[in-house]
Chain A
Amino acid sequence: MNGHRLLLAKPWIWSFAATASVWIITVLFTGGASSVGLSQAALTFAAFSVIVGIGQMFVITLGPGNIDLSVPATMTLSGTLALKLMDVQDSMILVGLILSILLGAIIGLGNYALIKILKIPPIIATLSMSFIVQSTAIWTNRGLRIKPPETLASFTTSSLLGIPHVAIVALILSAFAWLLLEKTIYGRWISAIGQSTFAARMAGIPVDGTRLVTYMLCAVLASVCGYLLASFSGGAALNMGAEYLLMSIAVVVIGGTAVAGGNSNIPGIWGASLFMFLVVSMLNTYGFGAGFRLILTGLLIIAVILVAGGRRSTR
């Protein structure tokens, strides 16, 4: 068991090592002047990736083929609808949050209904679902940009003791996710399903119920992230979730969660999210154009996975 623990502990070290080195390189370039600002920005933007990443991680843990592609559409619809409902009134903040949670639960339910009842592979089921959700968002949005309520906007953009509020929210959610994963029977169940669905079923684990809850959890987290992101950026935009599709998958995998399922880790998601943001800002500070920035981002992702992936062969 101890050796197994060590193996589990290893993967996320890599993402943090990469993050630290990128941070140092960037700060060195600017002569140390940017260290506070850079860290705050990194924490803020990483927080959004972390929230969607955790949801995606739970889904990926379920085993090969499990993935949720409806994350960006869910974020967009949730941000759009919540801002519309709140209508700039501070008294409606909680109602908006409840609406986005409900919305996430419904989308997650729909996703799993397609997967289970129609036996559609998750990747296609969530993709079809995301088309429908995206259409609904286009229909409700109508190009209008509604502002978030004053209090909510200032909450998402300000910080406590130098730590951005959204990062604190993400940290609390991560702590909950960690408890759920490591200390509850549910966490054991999803790992067991990811390692062998057949064995899990034989062992009497409610496989379908667990998978349903997982897809709902992922959609709810994406929904909450959309709610926060729309409030943070002063309004919902139709493409606001777009970059989070690849991001949510990238942070999970760079963070050291096994793509084959059955093995997840939450600290790694933080490392990977910070890494992804810092790489882009490092390349920005060095004044690279958009093309080179993309190429280097891609090569760095592959480099990290090459270094961190070595452990797989030892298993």
Chain B
Amino acid sequence: MKLSSSAVRLIIPAASLAVLLAAVFYMQPRAMSYTGLNLLFNLAVPIALATVAQMVIMAVNDLDLSMGTFVSFCACVTATFLQASPGTGILIFLGAIAAYAAMGVIIYVRELPAIVVTLGMSFVWGGLAVLILPSPGGTAPGWARWLMTSKPPFVPMAIVASVVIALATHFLIMRSSFGVLIRGAGGNVRSVERAGWSVVKVRAAAYALAGFFAVLSGIALVGLTTSADANIALRYTLLSIAGVILGGGEFVGGKISPIGAVIGALTLALAGSFLSFMRISPDWQIGAQGAILIVVLAMRLFLNRLEKREKSR
């Protein structure tokens, strides 16, 4: 049987998620229910959206260190403007997405390191978030709350949302010509340019798309937590990068996998629940999360080696 390399790329993240899930079910059989699954994966939805956003940036060989502060900013806007006067809220979001597109253009045109520009932007988003919500508060818009807490039959909302996100981004990034251009800009800029495409436009579009997903992540987060504060999503920067890598993505070369990224985000979210079921002392929670990350990546290396051995035979 021959598997495409993109399918192989998916096996490892999917297997690690399955193993982790099996371990959780073994320790806490009651988690194997509608409510249990919903609780386990609830917070995974905003993380998955942020991971997809980070993935689009990584597809064009950049890295967004402002993801966490930007999602926090979006959460603050959602809990205040979008709730009180939806028109203003939407305008702010459009402005933010335009800012992302501009960032993509500036980074390319001036040949700046993306890490530094996004680092600078992380201060800007953090500052704006503090201006909007100096202290934790705000309320979630009714529809966001309804969407995130709705209970579709048989399958919990968190799972439905994750599948929708995974499939939608898969078709957008892996199956559309637009997606090919984005990955091409990461894999081989020159060939995209020679083929007559404007790299500036492609990169602007990629950054705007990332901004759009990050906005959705902020809205989803507020839908779950009902209120926001300026530091609500700071850890998303590192979580989103880790999610993309766990899901089989790579830092350079436009090698990414949207479905893998969503699975990676779910794995990271599940790792937290897994540790609390293990009754690990809170002191070691973060450390154990690091250990899980290492184990999963070691597994990936092991499987990659097996695959190579198969090929060389």
Which residues of chain B from 187 to 208 have a CB within 8 Å of any chain A CB? none
B284 touches A121 (CB 8 A): no
Can you list, as one digit per residue, whether each of B118-148 has a CB less than 8 Å from chain A (1) or not (0)?
0111111111111100100000000000000
Interface stretch of the complex, out of A8-16, A98-106, A152-160, A289-297:
A289-297
A120-B294, A121-B245 as given contacts; A299 in contact with B283, CB under 8 Å: no
Nearest-neighbor residue (CB-CB) of B291 within chain A:
A132
A295 touches B115 (CB 8 A): no
A302 touches B252 (CB 8 A): no
Complex Cα distance A290/B128, Å?
A: 10
A253-B113, A305-B116, A310-B110 as given contacts; A139 in contact with B283, CB under 8 Å: yes
B120 touches A301 (CB 8 A): yes
Asked if A254 CB lies within 8 Å of chain B CBs, one says yes
Asked if B272 CB lies within 8 Å of chain A CBs, one says no
A301 touches B119 (CB 8 A): yes
Most buried by A among B106, B251, B286: B286
Which residues of chain A from 75 to 120 have a CB within 8 Å of any chain B CB? 114, 118-120
Overall SS of chain B's interface: helix
Asked if B1 CB lies within 8 Å of chain A CBs, one says no
Closest Cβ of chain B: how far from A249's Cβ, in Å? 6
Closest Cβ of chain B: how far from A82's Cβ, in Å? 19
Asked if B15 CB lies within 8 Å of chain A CBs, one says no
Nearest-neighbor residue (CB-CB) of B245 within chain A:
A124
Complex Cα distance A24/B13, Å?
A: 54
Asked if B32 CB lies within 8 Å of chain A CBs, one says no
Nearest-neighbor residue (CB-CB) of A308 within chain B:
B112
Nearest-neighbor residue (CB-CB) of A303 within chain B:
B120
Contacts of B113 in A (CB 8 A): 253, 259-260, 305
Can you list, as one digit per residue, whether each of B284-295 has a CB less than 8 Å from chain A (1) or not (0)?
111111110110
- Residues of B in contact (CB 8 Å), total 46
A120-B297, A301-B119, A305-B120 as given contacts; A291 in contact with B290, CB under 8 Å: no
Contacts of A130 in B (CB 8 A): 290
B290 touches A301 (CB 8 A): no
A246-B119, A259-B115, A295-B127 as given contacts; A65 in contact with B251, CB under 8 Å: yes
A128 touches B294 (CB 8 A): yes
B120 touches A138 (CB 8 A): no
Asked if A187 CB lies within 8 Å of chain B CBs, one says no
Nearest-neighbor residue (CB-CB) of A64 within chain B:
B252
Contacts of B131 in A (CB 8 A): 289, 291-292, 295
Asked if A135 CB lies within 8 Å of chain B CBs, one says yes
Asked if A123 CB lies within 8 Å of chain B CBs, one says yes
Asked if B37 CB lies within 8 Å of chain A CBs, one says no
B241 touches A124 (CB 8 A): yes
Nearest-neighbor residue (CB-CB) of B106 within chain A:
A306
**Cross-interface CB contact of A127 among B121, B126, B238, cutoff 8 Å:** B238
B124 touches A294 (CB 8 A): yes
A124-B241, A130-B290, A299-B124 as given contacts; A309 in contact with B111, CB under 8 Å: yes
Nearest-neighbor residue (CB-CB) of A310 within chain B:
B110
Closest Cβ of chain A: how far from B298's Cβ, in Å? 5
Asked if B224 CB lies within 8 Å of chain A CBs, one says no
Which residues of chain B from 22 to 68 have a CB within 8 Å of any chain A CB? 63, 65
Contacts of B283 in A (CB 8 A): 135, 138-139
Nearest-neighbor residue (CB-CB) of A242 within chain B:
B234
Can you list, as one digit per residue, whether each of A187-215 has a CB less than 8 Å from chain B (1) or not (0)?
00000000000000000000000000000
Complex Cα distance A291/B131, Å?
A: 5
A118-B298, A120-B297, A123-B241 as given contacts; A259 in contact with B287, CB under 8 Å: no
Asked if B165 CB lies within 8 Å of chain A CBs, one says no
Interface pairs (21), CB distance under 8 Å: A118-B301, A120-B294, A121-B245, A125-B294, A128-B294, A129-B290, A131-B290, A132-B290, A250-B119, A290-B127, A295-B123, A298-B120, A298-B122, A298-B125, A301-B120, A301-B123, A302-B117, A305-B120, A306-B112, A309-B110, A312-B110
Extra pairs beyond A290-B134, A291-B130, A302-B116 (4, CB < 8 Å): A120-B301, A128-B290, A254-B116, A298-B125
Which residues of A does B touch, CB under 8 Å? Answer: 64-65, 67, 69, 114, 118-121, 123-125, 127-136, 138-139, 246, 249-250, 253-254, 259-260, 289-302, 305-306, 309-310, 312-313
